[in-house]
């Protein structure tokens, strides 16, 4: 078990290094940040002086190594656009993204499992067929289009929910939360549904498929022969074994929610790190872009690592 944990941690570190290297290489083709930082009256001397101060004249691998060394120490650099520490800027935006991801993940997980179990148990009923048909919307439509449709219906036509922003927030130390205000909770509804709908449909279809497969097993037939109630068979025996393979996929989907929140944040102008990244691309703010990609990579790899360890703890056959 310890060797497996060590091996997975080592693999995770290597993945982070490769992702950081690829991302850092891509930034060379985004543009020259000096062009956006200096005005029209700049001179060649001004350009060279600024490039030297920013370390842009150093070789590529030297820049990458310096970034890694500073990042390990908690120094993510200074934003070219705002002139503030990147770590401070991300700390201000991160709570919004994490709260949106948490609500979206909870929405996808709860409704995905509930609808998946229901459509498996009542697979021939009209309600199950209707749910499966409607689930095609979440699978086929792109996230930004779902967001626009929800805004049009619930914000423009019905005027029930806000179309953008995070609402009022409350400061709890260094954390800003919208969970403690009514406007903050209402503002979460449309973005969380938009972000979690695709993952919910995937989890629902996976749970339904696994549930149907489990219900065909011999031990389920034996449980029926023993006279157990259908409720006990479905929820005590079938559901328990259904959720084991779902854990890995669910963990991947939760990581995807954090990674791809950028689209939802752009549609709803949600003040998270995803919208910060979009603005950083427009102004070629390389320290912000690098910090964002490394942060998302750490979250994604960390979630996958935790899921893998939980999967091994549940299924001892994978420990060898």
What does the pLDDT look like over 86-139, one tens digit per residue?
888 998 899 999 999 999 989 988 898 889 888 888 887 888 888 888 888 777
In a domain, 181, yes or no: yes
In a domain, 142, yes or no: yes
Q: Which contiguous run of DSSP H or E holds residue 311? A: helix 286-314
In a domain, 293, yes or no: no
Token pair belonging to 249:
């996929």
In a domain, 296, yes or no: no
> What is residue 23's predicted lDDT score, i.e. its pLDDT?
74
In a domain, 40, yes or no: no
In a domain, 26, yes or no: no
User: Can you say whether residue 78 is alpha, beta or left, with left for phi > 0 and alpha for psi between -120 and 50 degrees?
Assistant: beta
In a domain, 180, yes or no: yes
Are the C-beta atoms of residues 76 and 90 closer than 8 Å to each other?
Answer: yes
> What is residue 175's predicted lDDT score, i.e. its pLDDT?
86
- Which residue range forms the structural domain that includes residue 127? 93-273
**Number of structural domains, the chain?**
1
Q: What is the CATH number of the domain that holds 111?
A: 1.10.3720.10
- 176 against 67, higher pLDDT: 176
In a domain, 187, yes or no: yes
Q: How far apart are CA 109 and CA 308, in angstroms?
A: 18
């Amino acid at each position: 078990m310890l060797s497996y944990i060590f091996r997975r941690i080592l693999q995770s570190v290597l993945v982070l290094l490769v992702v950081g290297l690829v991302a850092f290489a891509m930034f060379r083709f985004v543009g020259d940040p000096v062009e956006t930082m200096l005005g029209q009256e700049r001179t060649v001397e001004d350009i060279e002086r600024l490039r030297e101060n920013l370390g842009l004249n150093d070789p590529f691998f030297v820049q990458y190594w310096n970034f890694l060394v500073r990042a390990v120490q908690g120094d993510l650099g200074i934003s070219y656009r705002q002139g503030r520490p990147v770590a401070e800027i991300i700390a201000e935006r991160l709570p919004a993204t994490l709260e949106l991801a948490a609500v979206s993940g909870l929405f996808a997980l709860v409704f995905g499992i509930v609808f998946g179990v229901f459509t498996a148990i009542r697979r021939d009923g009209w309600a199950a067929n209707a749910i499966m048909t409607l689930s095609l919307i979440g699978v086929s439509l792109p996230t930004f289009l779902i967001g626009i449709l929800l805004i049009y219906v619930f914000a423009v036509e019905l005027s029930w929910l806000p179309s953008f922003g995070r609402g009022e927030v409350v400061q709890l130390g260094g954390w800003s939360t919208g969970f403690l205000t009514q406007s903050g909770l209402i503002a979460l509804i449309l973005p969380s549904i938009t972000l979690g709908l695709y993952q919910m449909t995937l989890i629902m279809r996976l749970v339904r498929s696994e549930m149907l497969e489990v219900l065909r097993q011999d031990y389920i037939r034996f449980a029926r022969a023993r006279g157990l109630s259908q409720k006990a068979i479905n929820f005590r025996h079938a559901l328990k074994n259904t959720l084991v393979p779902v854990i890995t996929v669910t963990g991947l989907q939760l990581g995807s929610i954090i990674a791809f929140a950028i689209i939802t944040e752009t549609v709803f102008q949600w003040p998270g790190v995803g919208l910060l990244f979009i603005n950083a691309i427009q102004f070629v703010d390389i320290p912000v872009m690098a910090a964002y990609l490394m942060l998302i990579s750490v979250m994604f790899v960390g979630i996958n690592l935790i899921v893998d360890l939980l999967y091994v703890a549940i299924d001892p056959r994978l420990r060898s």
